[in-house]
Amino acid sequence: MDSFDLSKMLGMTSEQIRFVDRQRMSRRQMLGYAGGAAMVAALAACGSDSGSSSSGPAQSSGVPTSGNPGTVSMLGWQGYDDVTARVAFDAAGGVLNPTYIGNNDEILARLRGGQGSFDIVTPNAAFLPALVKAGVLEPIDYSAIPNTSGYFAEFNKPEWNTFDGSTWGAPVEWGNGPMVYRPDLIDNVPTSWMQLADPEYKGKVAMWDDGFGHIIVMAKTLGFAEPNRLTSGQLDQVVEGLTKIRENARVVAPSLGDLSDILARGEAAITTQSWQGVATFVRDKGEKAEWTVPEEGTWGWNDHYCVPKGAGNVEGAYRFIDAMISPEGNAVITNAFYSGTPVEASVPLLTDTVKGIFDYTNVGNELTSLGFYSLPPLEREGDIVSLDDWNSAWSKIKG
């Protein structure tokens, strides 16, 4: 593992990682933008390639389910530590020590670089194979986390978190990357992503600085069977398609918060792939906003609670995870993030707006239409391009 090239894993230099730490707006800041803990509490009071079989009743593993959980250190998104959601953990005497991130890359950088000791991290499913390959995660024991029995069957050890003979994370939230638009500023709602390259949207488009999501969505739009495993020729076509949209774009926003502000000010009328929360934050500023998913579909994300290798308080970490994926706890998080819950009994506790984002009567169809994609290969595999190639392509598209 000493020869493992971290820079290729991240696609970033050390200076870029530090720049991200200083500058990139995280979901933590997005929650602050919308009112932070007050919004979470208010929403909670209003009660937001599929996998395998359901888990059935949890079996005892010898991990205590009572007593003081102790101090748990978390490296992840703010909101996944919400005090309203973790009441059972806090009531048992648990203490959470959070360190917030601005993007998923920071998890790998900090764990590989020994920048702190953590009991929990919260990566997107796309990063799980890379984290496992880097040797920085411990397998998760679902029998020690009773509330995993409440997952929808599609989230109980699906293929994107269970591989190499182990399960590596406990799902906490999921979602997609919709198009957000101002209905008062456009005449027609696009039914295809490629319509954003049409002349009527010249100067009206705003893009978010997220290369992975944009390349995945364009690869799906072009009909490529494996959007995360592109040949050189396919990546060239993706670049061509996204460049046409970029030529209509007023800006590439560095964060979702900036994207919200741009739409709220009317400086742009429509986005490429983004987040439902962007529309909500625009509405909070008194402007109209809606979201839609074009006919080619979009991509899916599924954030997890994971335990890093060498964690000092695994038992406490499990107690924390169990609280956060309880029906009540997970509903709080889902309502705050305008996302999807993996916990079946959380659905009745969601606000009407959040509950309406996804069809919970057929979660399997929802997930199949999305797809959760891992990162592209770290090294070229024949004509299959690497993560470095994707990063270079996105830099070229942004200009």
Q: Mind listing the pLDDT tens digit for each residue in 272-292? A: 999 888 998 899 999 999 999
pLDDT (mean) for 149-154 = 98
Report which of residues 181 and 47 the model is more confident about.
Answer: 181
pLDDT band at residue 51 using 50, 70 and 90 as cut-offs: very low
Maximum alpha-carbon separation in the chain? 64
Does the pLDDT of residue 261 top 90, yes or no?
yes
Pairing assessment for the beta strands 249-253 and 290-292 based on DSSP bridges? unpaired
Q: At what angle do helices 314-324 and 327-337 cross, to 10 degrees?
A: 70
* Per CATH, domain 6-175+300-358 is 3.40.190.10: yes
pLDDT of residue 104: 78
SS3 content of the chain, % helix, strand, coil (to 5): 45, 15, 40
Pairing assessment for the beta strands 71-76 and 95-100 based on DSSP bridges? parallel
Closest CA to 252 of 239, 234, 267: 267
Does the pLDDT of residue 246 top 80, yes or no?
yes
pLDDT of residue 65: 61
Closest CA to 148 of 172, 174, 127, 119: 172
Is the separation of the CB atoms in 331 and 341 below 8 Å? yes
**Domains in the chain: boundaries:** 6-175+300-358, 178-297+377-398
Tokens standing for residue 263: 């739409």
DSSP, residue by residue, 302-321: EEEEBEETT-S-HHHHHHHH
pLDDT of residue 372: 85
pLDDT of residue 171: 98
pLDDT of residue 7: 42
For tokens 């239409």, name the residue. Answer: 369
pLDDT (mean) for 11-20 = 38
- The per-residue pLDDT of the chain, averaged, comes to 85
Tokens standing for residue 192: 């295809």
pLDDT of residue 368: 85
Q: At what angle do helices 276-284 and 256-264 cross, to 10 degrees?
A: 50
Question: Which stretch of 6-15, 192-201, 218-227, 360-369 has the lowest confidence by average pLDDT?
Answer: 6-15
pLDDT in tens, 92-113: 999 999 999 877 778 888 898 7
6-175+300-358 and 178-297+377-398: same fold?
Answer: yes
Report which of residues 271 and 108 the model is more confident about.
Answer: 271
d(CA 54, CA 34): 36
Topology of domain 178-297+377-398, per CATH?
A: D-Maltodextrin-Binding Protein; domain 2 (3.40.190)
